[in-house]
Amino acid sequence: MRITPSILNADFARLGEEIARVPSADALHIDVMDNHFVPNLTFGLPVVERLRAATTAMLDIHLMIEHPDTWAPAYAEAGAESVTFHLEAAAAPVRLARELRARGARAGVALNPATPVAAIADIVGEIDLILIMSVEPGFGGQSFLDLVLPKVAAARRLIGGADIWLQMDGGIAEATIERCVDAGADTFVAGSAVYHADDPDAMVRRLRALAEARAR
C-alpha cells in the first residue's frame, strides 16, 4: 500500500518546506495543470526540475494537460520516476508510454470518471500505473465519487498479478480509503486530507495503516 501525497493543497510559496513535511510518503504526487485540459493552472517543467533538485523522494507526476505526447517525455528526462498522462488527452498512448519507459520512468495512464477501463484493456502491457480519478480532475478538496469503484475493481481484474500500480486520486481520506482497498486499489493520492491535517506526516502513516489493515 502506497500513499502519495499531492502538493496541490500545499503552500506553493514554500514548496521545499512543504515536501519535507511528509517524509513517510512513498512518492510525492505532483499535479501539473494547463488551464486547458482542466480549468485550473498550477506549474510545469521548471518547477518540477527544481523539485527534482530539492528532494530524493520519488516524484509521481500527474499531467492534467492537453498534448501530453508533446510535453510528457521531458518530465521523465527531468528525473521523475513516474509520469502519468490522461488517456483522454493522448493522441498515441502506446507510443507515449514507450517513450516514457525509454527515458527510465514508469508510464502511467489516468482515466477520468466517465472513461471506462475497457479503453486501456488492449494496452495494459505497455503501462506501469493506472490512475482512476475519483473526482473530476482540476481541484483538490472535492467529494469522493463512489461511482468509480466498480471501475477500480475492473482495473484490478485487468492487472491480475502484474507489476502495475492501481492508483486512485480525489477525495481520498480516512473515511474513503478502505472502500478503495476493497475495490483493489494499492496506491492512494491524498491532497487536502494530508496538507490540511495538523500533522501531515502522521496522516500519511494513518492512511497507510488503514489501507494495510483493510487489505489483510
Give how far Cα 74 sits from Cα of 61, 69, 77, 82, 202, Å.
11, 10, 5, 12, 33
- C-beta pairs of 148-154 under 8 Å, 24+ apart in sequence: 148/113, 149/179, 149/180, 149/182, 149/183, 150/183, 151/111, 151/116, 151/117, 152/180, 152/183, 152/184, 152/185, 153/183, 153/184, 154/116, 154/117, 154/118
Residue list 119-148, contact with ligand DX5 (CB under 6 A): 135, 137-142
- For residue 79, what are the contacts with CB-CB under 8 A and spacing of at least 6? 52, 59
Tell which one of 27, 59, 61, 62 touches ligand DX5 (CB under 6 A). Answer: 62
Residue 204 engages ligand DX5 in binding (rule: CB under 6 A)? no
* Minimum CB distance to ligand DX5 smaller for 76 or for 84: 84
Name the grid cell of 115.
472513461
In whole angstroms, the minimum distance from the beta carbon of 157 to ligand DX5 comes to 24
In whole angstroms, the minimum distance from the beta carbon of 122 to ligand DX5 comes to 25
* Minimum CB distance to ligand DX5 smaller for 9 or for 187: 9
Name the grid cell of 191.
491532497
Residue list 63-102, contact with ligand DX5 (CB under 6 A): none
Residue 108 engages ligand DX5 in binding (rule: CB under 6 A)? no
In whole angstroms, the minimum distance from the beta carbon of 169 to Zn ion comes to 4
Active site residues: 31, 169
Output the residue with the shortest Cβ distance to ligand DX5: 191
Binding site for ligand DX5 (CB under 6 A): 6, 8-9, 29, 31, 62, 135, 137-142, 169-172, 189-193
